[in-house]
Every structure is written in structure tokens, then in C-alpha cells.
């Protein structure tokens, strides 16, 4: 799997107000945008929230702003499949289009908010912060470190999937095949399963999935 699709959520050093904001405030902002996107999945709200993320990226500096379009450039096929599917579910036509814009736009806004958190915060700070926040749940049997690691691996898989899509697209183009998202989806899924296996092996080999009772 290529390493090109790397800019999804790599920390961009800076001293902007967004960078300096406390971690809890950033999480709260992501939560608020995500909740709004989830509750009002309509086109005007989705477009408004997406515009808000552009504004926040601009506040974080031009290096961060220049990365805003990354998901559209590398994950266009995923948004295209989702959009067509939602349009079709809503019965097509203009009403279907508005419905699709509402759903896909909401997802994009939530995604961009989460990316801004990653772009403006060192990952080690994110892991430590999340582990601290989840620590009280240990009493309920929740392994905070395991949850934190799982979330991190999930985020890491997004650029990897985009990389897989790029590989498959290039392979299809090299063979003179058209870049049909539906045709490309199969090989991308197969590649994603292989990636998941390799990641699981790597985590297991590093002992990152061993729990304390096992390690004792």
C-alpha cells in the first residue's frame, strides 16, 4: 500500500489560537460539530458546518488551511459512492440531491472537525489526553489504553485506505480501464482487509494488544 496518502491527520506545528487551545476545548468543538451534523442532517446545516470548518482551518494558519481539501482529493470515491447511494435511497431527483448533500456534507463537516483536532495537536498529547479522560471508566472494566489505541488505529486507517484506493486507481488506469468507483470498490476492500491483518499482526507483535493480566 503506498505511503502517499499521508496528509490526512499529520500534526502541523504552529502557534495559532487553534494550536494553543486546550485539548478539552478542541474535543468539545469536535463533539459539538459532530453532534450538530448528526442531529440536523439537512443541506443548509451541512453546508454551514462545512463552511465553519474552513474558517477554523484558516484560523489555524495557512499550512493547515492548505490541507482542508485533502479528503475531497483522496477520498472522492467514497463520497461519490455514499452520495449516489443516498440520492438513490431518497428517490432521486432534486429532493434526492438535497438529501445526499445533507448526509454527505454532514459527514464531511464532522470529518474535517476531527482532522483539525489531529492537525493541530501532537498525537502523543491526544493519546495521553484521551487515556486520562477515559481513566475513570477503568472501574467499569474499560481498558482506557486499549480504547485509545483502537481509536488511533482507526484514524490511521483512513489515509491508508485512501492510499489503497490510489493504488487500485493507478493499476486500473495502467491497464486502460476506466476509473469507475463501483468497480474499484472491490479491490480496495480486499486491500483494506489485508491491511487490517497486517496492522493487527504488528500491534500484537509489539505487545500493544497484551493486557496487564496477560503480561503479569
Gap between the Cα atoms of 57 and 30, Å rounded: 13
Minimum distance between the CB of residue 137 and other proteins, rounded to whole angstroms?
18
Provide the b/e sequence for 72-109 (b: ≥16 CB within 10 Å).
eebbebbbeebbbebbeebeeeeebebbbbbbbbbbbb
54/145 with CB nearer other proteins: 145
106/121 with CB nearer other proteins: 121
Minimum distance between the CB of residue 67 and other proteins, rounded to whole angstroms?
13
What is the contact surface with other proteins in residues (CB under 8 A)?
1, 3-4, 6, 9-11, 122-124, 127-128, 145, 152-153, 156, 195, 198-199, 201-208, 210-211, 214-216
Gap between the Cα atoms of 128 and 126, Å rounded: 6
72/208 with CB nearer other proteins: 208
174/215 with CB nearer other proteins: 215
Minimum distance between the CB of residue 129 and other proteins, rounded to whole angstroms?
11
Do 119 and 64 meet the contact criterion of CB atoms below 8 Å apart? yes
Minimum distance between the CB of residue 215 and other proteins, rounded to whole angstroms?
4
Do 126 and 117 meet the contact criterion of CB atoms below 8 Å apart? yes
SS3 156: helix
Amino acid at each position: 500500500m503506498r505511503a502517499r496518502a499521508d496528509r490526512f491527520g499529520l500534526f502541523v506545528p504552529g502557534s495559532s489560537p487553534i494550536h494553543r487551545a486546550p485539548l478539552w476545548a478542541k474535543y468539545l468543538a469536535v463533539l459539538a460539530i459532530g453532534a450538530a451534523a448528526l442531529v440536523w442532517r439537512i443541506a443548509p446545516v451541512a453546508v454551514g458546518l462545512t463552511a465553519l470548518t474552513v474558517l477554523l482551518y484558516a484560523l489555524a494558519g495557512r499550512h493547515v488551511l492548505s490541507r482542508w481539501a485533502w479528503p475531497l482529493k483522496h477520498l472522492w470515491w467514497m463520497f461519490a459512492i455514499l452520495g449516489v447511494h443516498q440520492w438513490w435511497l431518497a428517490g432521486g431527483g432534486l429532493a434526492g440531491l438535497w438529501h445526499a448533500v445533507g448526509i454527505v456534507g454532514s459527514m464531511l463537516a464532522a470529518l474535517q472537525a476531527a482532522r483539525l483536532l489531529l492537525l493541530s495537536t501532537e498525537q502523543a498529547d491526544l493519546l495521553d489526553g484521551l487515556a486520562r479522560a477515559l481513566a475513570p471508566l477503568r472501574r467499569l472494566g474499560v481498558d482506557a489504553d486499549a480504547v485509545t489505541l483502537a481509536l488511533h488505529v482507526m484514524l490511521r486507517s483512513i489515509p491508508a485506505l485512501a492510499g489503497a484506493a490510489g493504488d487500485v486507481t493507478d493499476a486500473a488506469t495502467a491497464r486502460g480501464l476506466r476509473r469507475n468507483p463501483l468497480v474499484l470498490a472491490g479491490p480496495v476492500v480486499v486491500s483494506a482487509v489485508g491491511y487490517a491483518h497486517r496492522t493487527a499482526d504488528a500491534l500484537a507483535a509489539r505487545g500493544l494488544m497484551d493486557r496487564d493480566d496477560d503480561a503479569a
